[in-house]
Structure 1
Amino acid sequence: MKAHLAYQPCPPSANKYLQFKWDKASYDAHREKVKSAKSMLNITAPKTYSHLTQGLKKQKLADEWNLKVQRENNILLEKIFHIMKTSGGVDDRNYYKRKSLGKERKHQELLRITKENQKILFRLDHCKSTYNVKNFHKDWHKNVKLMDSIARYPRGWTNQKEGQEKAIKKSSGCGKDQKISRDITTKSLASNKAMGKVKSKGNIQVTADSAIHTAETSPPLDGSKTSNNPHTPETPKKEPENLSEG
């Protein structure tokens, strides 16, 4: 029934039991060899070095820097203590004079420019003009005479016109004063007529004309001079032109 479970060797054998023992022994030997076999490739982790992880050089430089700072701080502290105990040996007055390497050359250049400017000024002062001012004035007077001879209007006509306009404005103010005086005289005449002092119409006309005449001839209150005709202003007198040579 369990014949199929028995060991079946590959090569033919007379005793299957012995063949099984021999095959098992060879298989166990093979497994031992496999377990004890060493690899031909190095697959282990690389070796770590302490100087790569610790950074001894960097740490050494930091220690040297700290020592230098500490030494300088100690020196500064000693100086502060010395200054606090004594008055100190530092003078805050500065007597240093600024110096320049090109000072001498700049001074010589300034002297040269000054001398040249003085020479130019001397030439300008002693230079005679090529133009005669008197001849210019003579030519100008000739031109003025020619302009007067060919001009349509006399010289200074615009100034005269402006003076006439001003006079007209003043005369218009005087006309207003005369109108007021006329109104006053007419009112006075009306009151006299009502009172019976004036008996005839001819007398009233004569008195009114006389009152108007007195108002026209009477000077204004502001003291300005006016002509008999308010619409004809006084023309300003033309001053003679000074044609003397400058």
Structure 2
Amino acid sequence: MHRAYQSITPANNSFLKHKWDQLIYDRHRKKVKTVKAVIDNAPPKTYVHLHLKLKKLQMQEERMAIVERDNRILLDQMAHMMKTGGRVDNRNDYKQRSLNKTKRQQDLLQISHQNHAILQRIKSRQSHYNHMQWEQQWLVNQGYMMNISKYPQPRKTASKTKTKKATSSGSSQQEVKNTKSLSPQSHTQSPATNHSESNLPEVAV
């Protein structure tokens, strides 16, 4: 067999050359079989605790035990009801109580008193501004404006103001007459009223 072997490199003894080449080839094949891959492409390891969840099985067993205990208690109660005829206790004599009821009532009463006091102070408070005095001042200013204005007031508005003044003066005179007929003290008050009426500003047309 060594005679038919053709070596790649030159050798003096073809038998030994064939033996050595065969030995090198066997070593190479052995290394190829035992070599490890650079990239780990093997499937991951399977862990038992990930597939078989013992904690979940334990919780299921405990839940089943609780359900069986409740069912047994319910069955005993039903058997007792069947034997004794059964009675329903639907009465509830519990009265609702509050630990801070008196304190809340006292606070509510105090708040209501304070609100009432604030309301009374607001009602008894006098206004700081006198609207009657403002109205008189406005009439005076209106008379000044009519005196210094370039264009006079229209007749309609002037006639309206005159009729208002006439009606107000007529009503005041009628009140004065009524007071004279009722009491003798009206004679002393009538000049004052006439004086106050004379002090009103006149509007120039």
Question: TM-score with structure 1 length normalisation?
Answer: 0.36
Taking structure 2 as the reference length, the TM-score comes to: 0.42
Q: Which has the higher helix share?
A: 2
Question: Which protein has the larger Cα radius of gyration, Structure 1 or Structure 2?
Answer: 1
